[in-house]
Amino acid sequence: MYIITSSVLPAIKYYIKFKILAICLLASVSYSQSLLIRSSLPIRDGVTLDPDNGRPLSGSVVDYYDNGRIMVKGRFSGGYASGYWSYFYINGQLKARGRYYRAEDQKLSGMIENGKVGKWTYWYENGSRKMMGTYKDNKKNGDWIFWHQNSFKHSEGRYLQDEFQGKWEFWYANGNIQESGNFIEGKMNGVWSFWDSLGELIENGEYKNGRPVGEHNGWYSSGGRKWKMNYQFGKLHGLYISWYENGQPEKSGDYKNGIKDGIWNYWNEDGKKISIE
């Protein structure tokens, strides 16, 4: 029976550590050698080819910045980008990550902009999230969230075939609400409300097929009324009134199909009528 003495034990530990390090190094070298450099690959009719046999490529690829950091890594299947791909900034920060299905790598550089499916996440160069949502057939579908670079939410809502659909909300970079309303097939519909950066309501009105309709009202940040106007088929139509911030009337008159119609009255800030046209 061999007894390990205290004098032998450090040498054994060193030997084991060395063997583990060597195995990891060999595995790393083997893995890096199995990766192909994306920018050097041959391509024919939108199909990326294996440089060794000229057949549609199936395998992992990578590309690097001049500073040695990874620019992109992903995988091809049958000559098309498939599965999860990751893109990086030059500082090493993750830029985007998501999945492709039979996407053509047409330029062998930059981000592949076709064939996106499923969940994708994008980041700013400082590491904060930029946007996140799902694709279907390379079009935004379902819930999406966007952020300002300071990590405050920028906007949130749903897409349908790359178009805004349903309720959307937008925020200023300080976190205050900016606007809120509904879309139908990418066009504003229903009542929309708008706020200033301090959180005060400054505008409210209805839209139909992306055009303002009916009565719209505006307010100063102080809360006083600023204007009231009416729309028909997206054009000013009917009574228009505006006020100074001190509450005195500024001007009033009528519009007809977007053109001033009839008598218009004007006042100064003291409430004195100054002209009629």
* Domains delineated in the chain: 75-102+114-276 (3.90.930)
Please state the rounded mean pLDDT for residues 169-198. Answer: 98
pLDDT at 250 over 70: yes
pLDDT at 89: 99
pLDDT at 263 over 90: yes
Please state the rounded mean pLDDT for residues 182-199. Answer: 98
Distance separating alpha carbons of residues 181 and 190, to the nearest angstrom: 7
pLDDT at 14: 45
Tens digit of pLDDT for each residue in 37-85?
Answer: 999 999 999 999 999 999 999 999 999 999 999 999 999 999 999 999 9
Tens digit of pLDDT for each residue in 127-148?
Answer: 999 999 999 999 999 999 999 9
